[in-house]
Amino acid sequence: MTSAISIILRPLAAFYDDPATVEMRMTKPKQVIIDRRGQGKTTLDAPDLTLARIEDICRSLANVTGVRFDPDTAPKLSCVVPEVRHRFECLVGSSVQTRVSMAIRCKHPFTPSWEQVGAVPSVVAYLRDSVLAERNMIVSGATNTGKTTLFNKLLEFLPSNRRIIAVEDTPELQIDRFWDGVGLLAAREASTASGMVDWRQLYDHLMRATPDHVIFGEISTQNAFAALGALNSGITGFMCTIHADSPHQVLNRKFDQNIAWSGQTMP
């Protein structure tokens, strides 16, 4: 990384560039928590990462990604780190007792085997048959349990000529090998001339783009209504992830909850 934004990000990159790093977090200025694959969590001093420096980094990321950020009026930033595509989430100011809460989920190349995922051959065969049969599938689980990792493993079963349309607000799905596929990105926050559209507009587009498979990323308050709209349109091969403790909770509460929190209502 040699761009201007990469120079600004160097204090963070010093920690997240390690390929073993799964996530970098901050719960207060001048200290980082690194979660490394197979090694667990470590706390490290970071004297250069003052609150002022963190706010400057957020301003720069907001400018580059076209998202609004202001420490006083818009203190939450959700975006993707340019070039490396790590997921960046930060909240500063009075809503945080320690003034900063940051989590950077790293997107280092990592493709575990099915054995590492914990799936026995019979389960792998069942999942493969389900994907190839274009069954609608939801991967549910708690935070940081490997939902997206499993999701990307499922996509490996599909032939590269399938018309995949992935719809996300943060690019995490591995769809590059689908040469007739496309990834769509929704505006996550109030945009500042970013050229991005909202979930409703993306829904209208994808339904006219002749998908073989509609692949939502993580279901949230912003996209739950659009996801149900896609499912109710009669499509097959729909896939998504969602935060939930059980499949029963997914079907009986989580979609309704996300839609209610968004301020929308089901007809």
Contact 22, 106 (CB under 8 A): yes
0.85 exceeded by the pTM? no
Q: Do domains 4-105 and 114-262 have the same CATH topology?
A: no
Sequence spans of domains, the chain: 4-105, 114-262
Buried-state track 194-211, b at ≥16 Cβ within 10 A, e below 16: bebbebeebbeebbeeeb
Beta-bridge mates of residue 140: 242
User: CB within 8 A of 260, min separation 6: which ones?
Assistant: none
Report the distance separating Cα 250 and Cα 141, nearest Å.
10
Q: How does pLDDT run along the chain (267 residues), one tens digit per residue?
A: 457 888 899 999 999 999 999 999 999 999 999 999 889 999 999 999 999 999 999 999 999 888 889 999 999 998 889 888 899 999 999 999 999 999 999 988 777 899 888 889 999 999 999 999 999 999 998 887 889 889 999 999 999 999 999 999 888 899 999 999 999 988 766 455 467 788 889 999 999 999 999 999 888 888 888 888 888 888 889 999 998 888 888 877 777 787 777 777 666
Angle between helices 147-155 and 121-132 (to 10 degrees): 60
Beta-bridge mates of residue 100: 92
- Domain 114-262: which CATH class? alpha beta
Q: Which helix (H) or strand (E) holds 164?
A: strand 164-168
Q: What is the CATH number of domain 4-105?
A: 3.30.450.90
